[in-house]
């Protein structure tokens, strides 16, 4: 009996082994086919980018990532950017596109490692050097268009030629998503009883959210020329919101004009700043005025306002009497919870490039150079 079972068990094991080998061979063949198509897609994507003010060059594309990923790594990549006054050359150590074989609509661009930026002159010496432990951008494609982007970065540092630190960032997270806009109801009149059965009537296209976004940056160090007033490092900067109304992704002047004229706004559901003694949490709405400058209204809870006003006065950003008047008004409005720090819950507004806390002018905002 046992002698008869053993050959049969061997045959079953052999058949299972052969089936597994066949499956592995089929998967390998399919992977190489997908990897080749993926590399062709990367080449097509890079070709489209040519002629948009940037010239991309690379020696070849190396395939990798088997078995769990499709990877297309650019060999000796460079990018040349022609500006009005100068031409710059960017040389990254790594440019790798990747995706899962079963989820090719999600593509990740890995730019981690070292980077050099140099002017296109005879010296060839880099003007800036940068390094990032992690720097990845993931794109989700739907219907032939980018539907979502996710940027992740850690331990980024930018140094000038002399070795002085120009910029540093401990952590960066940013997400953008395109929203599906429902078409406006083409019928001019609707049954009032039908509206009563809904939470709210349908909104026109221009009033619906077309995009959503959120970003978080921590451990921000700016160059000395920035003259940070409260601390050497901005501890935390975060915001999240929605773009209301249709806005083209390129944000060209004409697209911005149409979006503004149609009543487009940016709804910021969360704003957070941790900088030295200053702690701000708020929300608000932004729009563009006739000169394409931002205007808006916000509500914010602010801690450390007195220290902030003192620093602005000492740095010359505010006149002494303005800082004193602002401190007197804000102190009268401040509250305290138990043994906690005094805080303000006040309206902020941005009009004609001036930022107001209630009736008090805090500072003048630089004009946006569209």
How confident is the model over 163-210, as pLDDT tens digits? 666 889 999 999 999 986 555 444 444 444 443 444 444 555 556 889
Alpha-carbon gap, residue 161 to 32, rounded angstroms: 43
Name which of 54-58, 234-238, 357-361 the model is least confident about. 357-361
pLDDT interval class at 120 (50, 70, 90): confident
- Describe the crossing of helices 305-314 and 320-333 by its angle, rounded to 10 degrees: 180
Tell me what pLDDT residue 54 has. 81
Greatest Cα pair distance, the chain, in angstroms, is 105
Alpha-carbon gap, residue 300 to 298, rounded angstroms: 6
CA 227 to chain CA centroid, Å, is 25
Is a pLDDT exceeding 60 seen at residue 335? Answer: yes
Is a pLDDT exceeding 70 seen at residue 140? Answer: yes
Is a pLDDT exceeding 60 seen at residue 162? Answer: yes
Alpha-carbon gap, residue 212 to 156, rounded angstroms: 25
Say if residues 107 and 136 touch (Cβ distance below 8 Å): no
Where do the domains of the chain lie? 217-370
The radius of gyration computed from the CA coordinates of the chain, to the nearest angstrom, equals 28
CA distances from 274 to 4, 253, 337 (A): 77, 33, 20
Is a pLDDT exceeding 90 seen at residue 59? Answer: yes
Average pLDDT value for the chain: 83
pLDDT tens-digit series, residues 4-53: 556 777 777 767 766 676 776 787 788 888 889 999 999 998 888 776 67
Tell me what pLDDT residue 133 has. 95
Query: In terms of Cα–Cα distance, which of 156, 174, 166, 282 is closest to 219?
Result: 156
Q: For the residues 243-267, what does the mean pLDDT come to?
A: 84
Residue reference for tokens 């107001």: 356
Is a pLDDT exceeding 90 seen at residue 346? Answer: no
Name which of 135-149, 189-203, 233-247, 258-272 the model is least confident about. 189-203
């Amino acid at each position: 009996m046992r002698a008869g079972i053993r050959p049969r068990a061997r045959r079953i094991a052999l058949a299972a082994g052969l089936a597994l080998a066949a499956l592995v061979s089929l998967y390998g063949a399919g992977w190489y086919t997908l990897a080749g198509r993926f590399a062709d897609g990367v080449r097509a994507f890079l070709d489209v980018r040519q002629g948009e003010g940037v010239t991309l060059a690379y020696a070849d594309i190396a395939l990798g990532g088997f078995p769990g990923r499709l990877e297309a790594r650019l060999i000796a990549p460079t990018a040349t950017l022609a500006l009005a006054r100068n031409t710059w050359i960017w040389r990254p150590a790594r440019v790798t596109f990747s995706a899962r074989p079963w989820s090719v609509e999600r593509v990740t661009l890995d730019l981690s490692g070292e980077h050099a930026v140099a002017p296109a002159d005879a010296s060839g010496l880099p003007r800036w050097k940068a390094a990032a432990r992690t720097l990845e951008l993931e794109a989700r494609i739907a219907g032939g268009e980018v539907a979502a982007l996710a940027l992740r970065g850690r331990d980024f540092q930018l140094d000038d030629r002399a070795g002085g630190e120009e910029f540093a960032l401990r952590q960066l997270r940013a997400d953008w998503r395109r929203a599906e806009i429902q078409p406006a109801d083409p019928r001019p009149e609707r049954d009032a009883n039908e509206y009563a059965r809904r939470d709210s009537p349908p909104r026109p296209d221009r009033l619906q959210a077309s995009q959503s976004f959120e970003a978080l940056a921590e451990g921000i160090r700016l160059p000395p020329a920035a003259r940070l007033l409260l601390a050497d490092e901005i501890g935390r900067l975060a915001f999240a919101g929605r773009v209301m109304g249709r806005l083209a992704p390129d944000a060209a002047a004409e697209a911005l004009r149409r979006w503004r004229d149609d009543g487009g706004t940016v709804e910021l559901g969360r704003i957070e700043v941790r900088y030295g003694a200053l702690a701000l949490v708020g929300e608000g709405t932004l729009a563009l005025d006739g000169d394409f400058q931002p205007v808006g209204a916000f509500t914010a809870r602010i801690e450390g306002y007195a220290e902030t006003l003192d620093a602005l006065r000492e740095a010359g950003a505010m006149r002494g009497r303005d800082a004193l008047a602002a401190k007197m008004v804000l102190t009268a409005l401040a509250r305290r919870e138990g043994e906690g720090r005094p805080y303000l819950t006040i309206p902020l507004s941005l009009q004609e490039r001036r930022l107001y806390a209630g009736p008090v002018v805090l500072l003048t905002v630089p004009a946006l150079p569209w």
